[in-house]
A = this chain, B = another copy of it.
Amino acid sequence: MELRSPARTFTIRQLCQEFDCTARALRFYEDKGLISPERDGMNRVYSYKDRARLQLILRGKRVGLALSEIGEILDLYELGDGGATQNAISLAKFRDRIQALESQRLDIDLAVGVLKEACSRLEDHLRSTRPELLEQPVEAIRPRRPRPGEMRRAG
């Protein structure tokens, strides 16, 4: 079977590796109704469409959307319909979201500015004390970031 055909399918592990997340997370998203992969017996079988949805989910998460909000967006793509009032609500909420995201972009620019300033300070300070530490990546100093349970939001 052709590996890049639109009919191609994925196992849970494959998606986890590709997108750097856990199987638990995928099952959790399924629980919340964000993805609904087919089954081969008990095993989940993800289609290209599922993969695209997952990509949107993770992208949404990264910009601070709650899973529930991501769900609303995804639902829209199955749209077909849903009462017009509901759609109007969605529209208004999305417009809100766009506003929020654009202001968030500004925040990011500011934060990057702050961080670069901070880096400059640190570089100056290190240059005059331990210049050999200047170019080390994180891994060379500490093991690996543990990525705990969290995930804050950003409304």
Which of B61, B73, B93, B116 lies in contact with A154, CB distance below 8 A? B61
Binary B-proximity of A85-108 (CB < 8 A = 1, otherwise 0): 101111111111110011111011
Q: Which 7 A-B pairs have the closest CB atoms?
A: A88-B133, A151-B152, A152-B153, A151-B153, A92-B138, A84-B130, A91-B122
Question: In the complex, which of the residues B112, B115, B130 contacts A88, with contact meaning CB atoms closer than 8 Å?
Answer: B130
Closest to A79 in B: B121
CB distance from A58 to the nearest CB of B (A): 9
Within the complex, which residue of B105, B115, B122, B126 is in contact with A98, where a contact is CB–CB below 8 Å? B115
Contact with B along A117-155 (1 / 0, CB 8 A): 011011101100110011011101110010100111111
Chain B nearest Cβ from A75, distance in angstroms? 10
**With A66-B150, A76-B122, A79-B125 known to touch, is A115 a contact of B92 (CB < 8 Å)?**
no
- Alpha-carbon separation in the docked complex, A101 to B63 (Å): 10
Q: How far is the CA of A145 from the CA of B66 in the complex (A)?
A: 13
User: Does A105 lie within 8 Å of B102, measured CB to CB?
Assistant: no
